[in-house]
Chain A
């Protein structure tokens, strides 16, 4: 009996070994954390994945959709757990922190020269000390969108914007201006006003490096005081703004209930998806009276993660994806002006929206590429929330934020 059992077990083992040995060798699978930008569709994600997997003979890709607000957490967890994706969309401003833990590689070693040469040099914000640490995937200035059913005036200054917003504001049916008041991944909402007031986040040392945080400068206090006035005194922002992040508040504009919104290039495709039909004018985000025009331009990049297993195959996938047939379509869906020179030639980019985006890009400034950017973002948001909740004055809240940022950066 025992012998029979042993014989059967032995045979089963042999069969398993034989089957495993004969199994076809699996192609390396590239994991790509794909940011769910407004305007991107699941069909498009699936079509890119299927097209590469069909065409590629020696690699496969798995494109993992991730909500933008969850991206940094998911990525940090994956990297900390020793299982990073091969490639991921990252905010370019996160790259220095990833570099400080040796988590990302120079991308040029994995990409073809043709792909790198096709990138607009102006979009290569992730070039750190001469090394390209992320290939740009999206770059776009932020603009002011105006619902012409509600508002006709194009404000030239922040003060005019306030007056125009007050003029059209008739809550709860119509609001003057969208303002997200709940902390989320992006620091954009404070930054619009901060840059408009001529603010800089850090002192710049003589060698070009960043010194102490200056978010609490006069410009910072002016910006946050102005936001406080719009929201709490003028009451021109959408109801419940302190419970809304960008994703919650922009749909109120798409629903045709708001005169003005500071927004990105996705506005057109997001409005179409929401079924919005009202006419829109696009303009530069205005500066405060007497200040130079200065909007915000944001770039995101694709980074290659050092500890991942299939980086060469990942490079092949990026080469594939950056062909106009896919990257061009991606740009059109998301609405960001193309970062590739070839896709920029498409007549699609001659629309009024992209003319406005190009005009805004001329005077726009990027985020500071600085270590501990997440601390800067979180602490500034905390300051805004405290002011909106009436727990601190703009000056006190921003002083606390600057102190926390300096502490995190060891200053």
Chain B
């Protein structure tokens, strides 16, 4: 027993380990101060009534959670979050894959095409959203101007002014920003697949579609898993696009869980409700990540 303790001590407290602790310490302190403490504080806040300055006023147990679960707008926001994330990731995946396939083919100007597809991803999301806000402007925007002068639509609507069109318009911007990520990841993955596999398949009589499903998609399986997970988390948490374009309106029609957190905290000044929704969002994303991670590592072990 004494030997085991001494051995453990030697492992954990030798000169090399001490140096490691010193080197890790700044990062660890940073993480505790700026990540773990705020997360813990939000959990604590969700069980308290807060005032307009977010001070904890009194312990209310689960009352804030019950309050939120009884609010219809919470469930609408949750449903919109699911539609927003599911549709957004699906479209980004499909278009990203198509672009990657096109960029993987040898043709003149391929490099220029690759550069062009990276641009939306290279610019910051808020700047892209601001640009699109102007594109969608009903009076001075590029979209309506083009529709008018081309004669396609003499009196086009305000895209961000009605519930459904605002939701679709926001989703389009999120998709536009997110497609290059999938395209680039898939392109990198495709280039790592040995060309000989395609040649062999061709010699065995496999057509393009069969090769795509049996070689390309199979070769990209792990990349697809991880990139879809990342994109789902980013899309679920995409606050910038909606906030800049619609501020979750009109009449909450573009309000998803993450914007709802902001609206509760900084518009209604209900920091306790915002904390509850942050906790719920955190738990949803944690569960999704854990399930995905388990699936991913099980695949790897095979």
- Residues of A near any B CB (own CB < 8 A): 73, 76-77, 79-80, 97, 100-101, 103, 171-172, 181-184, 238-244, 248, 251-252, 255, 257, 374-375, 378, 382, 385-386, 388-389, 391
- Chain B positions within 8 Å of A382 at CB level: 251-252
B61 adjacent to chain A (CB < 8 Å): no
**How many whole Å from A181's CB to the nearest CB in chain B?**
7
Name the residue on A nearest B246 (C-beta): A243
Looking at chain A's contact residues, the main secondary structure is helix
Extra pairs beyond A80-B271, A244-B158, A385-B252 (13, CB < 8 Å): A73-B267, A79-B53, A100-B52, A172-B148, A172-B154, A240-B137, A240-B158, A243-B160, A244-B138, A378-B268, A385-B251, A389-B250, A391-B251
Task: Please measure, in the bound complex, the distance between the C-alpha atom of A241 and the C-alpha atom of B159, giving whole angstroms.
Answer: 10
Most buried by B among A240, A248, A391: A240
Listed from nearest, the 9 A-B pairs whose CB atoms lie closest are A240-B158, A240-B138, A243-B161, A242-B161, A243-B160, A385-B251, A243-B158, A80-B53, A80-B54
Cα A164 to Cα B163 with chains together (Å): 30
Tell me the complex Cα distance, A184–B249, Å.
10
Q: Name the A residues within 8 Å of B271 (CB-CB).
A: 80
Query: Which chain B positions have C-beta within 8 A of A181?
Result: 161, 250
What are 18 of the A-B contact pairs (CB < 8 Å)? A73-B267, A76-B266, A76-B269, A182-B246, A182-B247, A239-B155, A240-B157, A240-B158, A240-B160, A241-B158, A243-B136, A243-B138, A243-B158, A248-B137, A378-B268, A388-B250, A389-B163, A389-B250
Known A-B contacts A182-B161, A391-B251; the reply to A257 vs B139 at CB < 8 A is yes
Does B251 lie within 8 Å of A252, measured CB to CB? no
Quick one: which of A100, A101, A241, A252 contacts B161, CB cutoff 8 A? A241
Task: Tell yes or no: B253 within 8 A of A by CB.
Answer: yes
Give CA–CA (A243, B250) in the complex, Å.
Answer: 7
Contact A97–B52 (Cβ < 8 Å) = yes
Q: How far is the CB of A396 from chain B (nearest CB, A)?
A: 13
User: How many Å lie between the Cα of A114 and that of B271 in the bound state?
Assistant: 42
What CA separation (Å) do A181 and B268 show in the bound complex? Answer: 19
Q: Which secondary structure dominates where chain B touches chain A?
A: loop
Name which residue of chain A comes closest to B73, CB basis: A382
**Could you say which interface size class chain B belongs to?**
20 to 34
A217-B84 Cα distance, complex, nearest whole Å: 38
Chain A residues near B53 (CB-CB < 8 A):
76, 79-80, 101, 103
B157-216 interface (Cβ within 8 A of A): 157-163, 166
Whether B247 and A239, one on each chain, are in contact in the complex, defined by CB atoms closer than 8 angstroms, is no
Which residues of chain A come closer than 8 Å to B268, judged between CB atoms? 374-375, 378
Whether the pair A172, B52 counts as a contact (CB closer than 8 A) is no
A131 to B23, CA, bound (A): 56
Q: Which residues of B contact A80 (CB under 8 A)?
A: 53-55, 271
Give the chain B neighbours of A184 by CB distance below 8 A: 247
User: For the complex, what is the distance from the CA of A374 to the CA of B52, rounded to whole Å?
Assistant: 11
Please pick, from A100, A242, A375, A385, the residue contacting B158 in the complex, using a CB distance under 8 A. A242
Please, which residue of chain B has its CB at the minimum distance from the CB of A388? B250
Give chain A residues whose Cβ lies under 8 Å from the Cβ of B286.
none
B52 / chain A contacts, CB cutoff of 8 Å: 76, 97, 100-101
Q: Are A77 and B266 in contact (CB under 8 A)?
A: yes
| In the complex, chain B residues whose CB is within 8 Å of the CB of A388 | 250-251
A367 to B55, CA, bound (A): 28
Given A239-B138, A239-B139, A389-B251, A73-B158 contact (CB < 8 Å): no
B residues in contact with A374, CB < 8 Å: 267-269
A79, A80, A241 — which one has the most chain B CB atoms within 10 A of its CB? A80
For residue B146, CB closer than 8 A to chain A, the reply is: no
Contact string, B113-149, partner A, CB cutoff 8 A, digits 1/0? 0000000000000000000000011111000100010
Nearest CB on B from A344, distance (A): 36
Q: Contacts A241-B158, A243-B166 hold; do A182 and B267 have CB atoms under 8 A apart?
A: no
